[in-house]
Amino acid sequence: MAQNFTNLTSDCQYWLQKLSALDQASTLETQKDTCLHLPQFQEFLRQMYEALKEMDSNTAMERFPTIGQLLAKTCSNPFVLAYDESQKFLIQCLCCLINKEPQNSGDSKLNSWIRGLLSHILSAFRFNIKEFDLFTQGLGYEPVDYCPALLKNMVLSLVSKLRESHLNGFNTRRRMAPERVASLSQVCIPLVTLPDFEPLVEALLIYHGHEPQEVLCPAFFKAVNEAFLLKKISLPTSAVVSLWLRHLPSLEKAVLHLFTKLISSERNCLRRIECFIKDSLLPQAACHPAIFRVVDEMFRFALMETDGALEVLAAVQVFTRCFVEALEKENKQLKFALKTYFPHISPSLTAVLLQHPRDTPQGCHHQLLQHVSLMLRKAVEDQACGSCRDPFESWFLFIHFGGWADLAAEHLLRSAVEAPAAAEAPVAALLWLLAFYYRPLDSHQQRAQTMVEMEAVLSRLRFLTLSRSSPISAEELRAAAGEDSHEDPMQPVCGRLIRHLLLNFLLWVPAGHAAAHDTITLMACTDEISHEITGFLDQTLYRWDHLCTEAPRPAKLARELLQELRARV
């Protein structure tokens, strides 16, 4: 506790000097400096209040001899008073200094001085235009009566000045000089969280001057972005998009903020993830290719850093869904070509992947999947086409639209079990798709090997369903999936694939329903696998919802299994 005070005492000295220096001149530089220090100073005031409220006036004056001077200086600094909650902490500090049992005239003088300061902060606003003061007094009004109205009118006047300046390209007389706009944005920095200022903040964000370089100061963008991320200001989407287009660090901060929220929120609930993502306004903003590329880049980075973590994959997929939705909603004339969003991929491939399976009847899904597989395979294996350098790019694009892989797995399994007599060739395409999804960096041979293994699992599973008298047991299923063999060092990712197939089996094949709970219990031997299965179930339900897939029994089973798994955690 004592150590805390020594810090505060030295801080006190520091801030006193700082404020004195800032007082000397009120140029743009000192204003910038003041704005930079506002958050720290508020934190200092808050800590000061916490300390002061524990002691009485005399002790306070002894411990912090310069506190009175410092607080007095603060009272005449409008930037500090305008910022966030600084005025509240200042007032509270002053109240703490009041001597509750004045012994002598010195004490009373102190009290009276403090009251004067408080009065100054709260009410000493004379507009310093004598006519104004006389007139309002003549009408019987006090500053508290007209302050809000005056503020509103001044803000609106500035907003319309900005708008006029924006529209009058060649009429230089009506244009606001860039220095004025800059100083206006400077002055707004402490005030972005004041609701009265929202129209002005919006107008500044949308304002485009006639100079090639940015007119507004970066600290302004930063302040608005912070306020927006903490939900202390509400802005229309167009203003936020403008902010991010003009100030890249703000966009990056917004994406990081989203990542933090996604990490710390409940995992494996895609519905909630979708809410967070839509809330962040990033999908809507990403309709601008420039913003999309930055966000996509950050997702790519996260994916690589986490070695393809399932959560990141899921986030990318949900984000892409929301983005495509937003893109469709935008009725803007300028529709950017696909190449601007995905420059490294051939537009035909992108177009194919962007199709929504919902738009085609279920019977035709198989052909669609084949088409996707073919195009993707062509892009990956055809080195001569030169449109993509390495399979990673194709894979990265593919995982944006993860629904295809899930759909492929479903189809594979159902056709293998329900219609075994179907031709082999179509199945090969789906096998390739899945193998590529889970192991993009495999060589041609390795992938072929994986496909063979998958086929083996499928035929074993098929065998299990043929002419059975007794229900299938969990152990049998596990054996069929080949989970017992632990020799293969490549097991981990292949395991995911196999589990994916097995889970589909459990959901879609009636004979598998009975053993579902037990099988899951057996499979979920580690926390990681348990999470993976939960994720799969959640994702499947989410996907069925959006595709309007009619599958009442599987859905019911999936929900039960999900509940059980979640309860276990």
| Rounded to 5°, angle at Cα 183 from 180 and 189 | 145
Which member of 16, 61, 72, 150 binds other proteins (CB under 8 A)? Answer: 150
Q: How far is the CB of 189 from other proteins (least distance, A)?
A: 10
Which member of 21, 36, 134, 309 binds other proteins (CB under 8 A)? Answer: 134
Is residue 145 part of the contact set for other proteins (CB under 8 A)?
Answer: yes
Is residue 391 part of the contact set for other proteins (CB under 8 A)?
Answer: no
Is residue 58 part of the contact set for other proteins (CB under 8 A)?
Answer: no
Which member of 21, 36, 122, 309 binds other proteins (CB under 8 A)? Answer: 122
Is residue 306 part of the contact set for other proteins (CB under 8 A)?
Answer: no
Q: How far is the CB of 363 from other proteins (least distance, A)?
A: 57
Let me know if 531 is exposed, middle or buried by CB neighbors in 10 A (0-12, 13-18, 19+): middle
Q: How far is the CB of 96 from other proteins (least distance, A)?
A: 8
Which member of 1, 2, 25, 139 binds other proteins (CB under 8 A)? Answer: 139
DSSP line for 370-436: HHHHHHHHHHHH-GGG-S-SSHHHHHHHHHHTTHHHHHHHHHHHHHHHH-TTS-SHHHHHHHHHHHH
Q: How far is the CB of 101 from other proteins (least distance, A)?
A: 10
Which member of 78, 343, 420, 471 binds other proteins (CB under 8 A)? Answer: 78
Q: How far is the CB of 343 from other proteins (least distance, A)?
A: 43
Q: How far is the CB of 175 from other proteins (least distance, A)?
A: 13
Contact 69, 86 (CB under 8 A): no
| Rounded to 5°, angle at Cα 219 from 215 and 224 | 100
Going by C-alpha positions, the residue among 102, 76, 99, 98 that lies closest to residue 87 is: 76
Q: Which tokens is 307 given? A: 């070695």
Going by C-alpha positions, the residue among 128, 40, 47, 126 that lies closest to residue 83 is: 40
Question: What is the Cα–Cα distance from 247 to 239, expressed in whole angstroms?
Answer: 12
**Site for other proteins (CB under 8 A): how many residues?**
68
Q: Which tokens is 224 given? A: 């608005």
State the CB neighbour count (10 A cutoff) for residue 211: 9
Which member of 142, 330, 382, 545 binds other proteins (CB under 8 A)? Answer: 142
Is residue 172 part of the contact set for other proteins (CB under 8 A)?
Answer: no
3-state secondary structure of 467: coil
Which member of 20, 43, 53, 340 binds other proteins (CB under 8 A)? Answer: 53
Which member of 9, 13, 47, 111 binds other proteins (CB under 8 A)? Answer: 111
Contact 231, 255 (CB under 8 A): no
Site string for other proteins, 176-215 (x = CB under 8 A): xx-xx--xx--x--xx--x-xx------------------
Binding segment toward other proteins, per CB under 8 A, in 148-156, 233-241, 317-325, 537-545: 148-156
DSSP line for 240-274: HHHHHHH-HHHHHHHHHHHHHHHHHS-SS-HHHHH
Q: How far is the CB of 17 from other proteins (least distance, A)?
A: 22
Going by C-alpha positions, the residue among 203, 211, 102, 208 that lies closest to residue 156 is: 203
- The residue ranges that bind other proteins (CB under 8 A) are 26, 53, 78-79, 81-82, 85, 87-88, 91-92, 95, 98, 100, 102, 108, 111-112, 115-116, 118-119, 121-123, 125, 127, 129-132, 134-136, 138-151, 153-158, 160-161, 176-177, 179-180, 183-184, 187, 190-191, 194, 196-197
